Structure 1
């Protein structure tokens, strides 16, 4: 299917697929989707996690099927209109069993509201569309809760050995409080102790504008690490703003996201990203950071 990677790079827009679980409406970034298929009963796996229905093989790849209703503690459906949303992110192919697909909406990240602490463990954003609230789910967290080894590979830092302390200021744009905390802990363990954390691209951009006004940008930021999916301003738009600004364009920008694939790599390259790393590989992030900071 056509995906959001076909949108013009750096416009701060995305396409959201709206789907139903029970009577509730949810969303997923189209850039995560490979295809949508009618539901078919999968082959069960003994002793699997309760949210895993089993596996099926729609093409030449075996794909795990996750029952999203069970993950959200919502009663299951009669499967008459059920669908499988087959996704690819964090280098994983996973199908999510949903109760129906509504349609695709092209929206701006500015129109996605960041959820408060009461629901940010399951949602990355909330969209109000025609008096209806659509919850954009945190699919990375859903999968890592089921299979923790698919999450951020913190153990990779241990393989780097003894590290010297480095106080080069690193600006991070990451909307997930948990991931932001883990990334910071990993970077500190790797010796990078001067970290400026922001919750989205807009906050990071405002920080950069403040440094520009103070005429201290060269000493205040040595590298930027950004996620792609973030409310208010996404990482691609932030990267494009930085790389088209005469005073900021020489700052290295590393995109650290679960969405990195061949198409998204091309998109990142077109807006000037200096490096792009898929999110579980925190060890690779540190190695790339070393190349920019220690060279």
Structure 2
């Protein structure tokens, strides 16, 4: 079903996206969830043994599975929905997905490979980003785990999950935004404003930490449409020094932001940096074709500092 995801790169040119719709429980009217197919490597039924992690196994992580010799951490997506950062030691076993065989979505993003245990797959749907709303529109934000929503064929709401937030919750040791990781970066001498477009609240906060460490002014937007609305408002362009945008966002995607900025004579001079966990060669090539000025694999502080320094320090 997902044999060649890279072919869907052309969807970005039309501000479109494909989502895998799936369920986490067996009720007939169970909630539908979704994630961008660009993050999916494959979907498998796994009936082999799991290597459990040392210590307690009542959290988000179930252990490790082995796929063609590769050891991959496995997360129970239903357990994650009930996880709270305010109570990280909570026993999540009562919320586990139970099935005879484990249906696992193998994902690649932010330079990591992880398996996500789900219950069932509905199908892949294709949407224009204008048909995707911010999660708050339906009041379904549950600790920031839902970044956006859209509608299924029958009109029911599909909740699009924040898998970057899931990675942070499941693997806190991989956090790129500790004081230790930010220590090497230094302030940049510029009074220009950096515009940030990011629908994941956890990633947006991390980006803000980096920009604050660089002593730069910034505005953050939860989607590409709001960033573009601000950019093209009266008097804004002359104050903007650079744009950092995610790729997958409700209403207007990052590629659409890139296209519009570079197509306009008034804004084509503004550097646009793509900041995405979807760092496949096809995405990088598409960004280059659309004249992106940089491509960062999900908020790498050193890369952001180097790019912004090269763009901003000579602009007054």
After TM superposition, the score normalised by the length of structure 2 is 0.85
Residues 133, 227 of structure 1: CA spacing in aligned structure 2 closer, same or farther, 3 A cutoff? same
Deviation at 1:152, TM superposition (A): 3.7
Give the whole-Å Cα distance in 2 for the aligned partners of 1:127 and 1:6.
19
> Which secondary structure state, in structure 2, belongs to the residue aligned with residue 10 of structure 1?
helix
Match of 1:271 among 280, 287, 290: 290
> What CA distance in whole angstroms lies between the structure 2 residues aligned with 1:283 and 1:7?
27
Shift of 1:154: 4.1
User: Please, which moves more after superposition, 109-118 or 40-49?
Assistant: 40-49
C-alpha deviation, 1:210, in angstroms: 1.1
CA contact (8 A) 1:39 1:79 kept: no
User: Which residue of the other structure, out of 183, 191, 212, is the alignment partner of 1:158?
Assistant: 183
Aligned to 1:32: 39
2:35 partner SS:
strand
Runs of at least 4 residues off by over 6 Å: none
Q: Deviations over 1:41-62 (max 9, x none)?
A: 4221222662211112212421
- 1:72 counterpart residue number: 81
Q: Are the counterparts in 1 of residues 21 and 33 from structure 2 also a CA contact under 8 Å?
A: yes
Structure 1 residue 294: Cα displacement? 1.7
8 A Cα contact 2:165 2:200, kept in partner:
no
Tell me the residue number matched to 2:169: 145
The count of residues paired between Structure 1 and Structure 2 equals 289
> Secondary structure in 1 aligned to 2:142?
coil
1:133 CA drift (Å): 1.5
Stretch moving more, 181-190 or 250-259: 181-190
C-alpha deviation, 1:254, in angstroms: 0.5
Distance 1:151 1:111 in 2: 32
Closer, same or farther in 2 for the Cα pair 1:76/1:182, shift >3 Å?
closer
1:2 equivalent in structure 2: 4
Quickly say closer, same or farther: Cα 1:48–1:35, change in 2 above 3 A. Answer: farther
Matching of residue 44 in structure 1 with residue 67 in structure 2: no
| Partners of 2:6 and 2:282 within 8 A in 1 | no
1:220 match: 239
The answer as to whether partners of 1:27 and 1:134 remain within 8 angstroms in 2 is yes
Q: 2:268 matched to 1:249? A: yes
Q: Please give the per-residue CA displacement for 1:62-107, whole angstroms capped at 9, x wherever unaligned.
A: 1111111211237434424641000000000000010011110011
1:12 corresponding residue in structure 2:
15
CA RMSD of aligned residues (A): 2.1
Q: 1:172 aligns with which of 196, 217, 229?
A: 196
Report the equivalent of 2:231: 208
**Could you state the TM-score of these two structures normalised by the residue count of structure 1?**
0.90
CA shift digits 1:155-198 (9 cap, x unpaired): 3321125x354311211112233432332232122121x21222
Q: Which segments of 5 or more consecutive residues in structure 1 lack a partner in the other structure?
A: none
Q: Partner of 1:92 in structure 2?
A: 112
Aligned equivalents of 1:106 and 1:286: distance in 2?
Answer: 36
| 1:21/1:69 contact within 8 Å kept | yes
Kept after mapping to 1: 8 A contact 2:206/2:299: no
- Tell me, yes or no, if the aligned pair for 2:9 and 2:286 is still in contact at 8 Å: no
Equivalent-residue separation in structure 2 for 1:77 and 1:178 (angstroms): 25
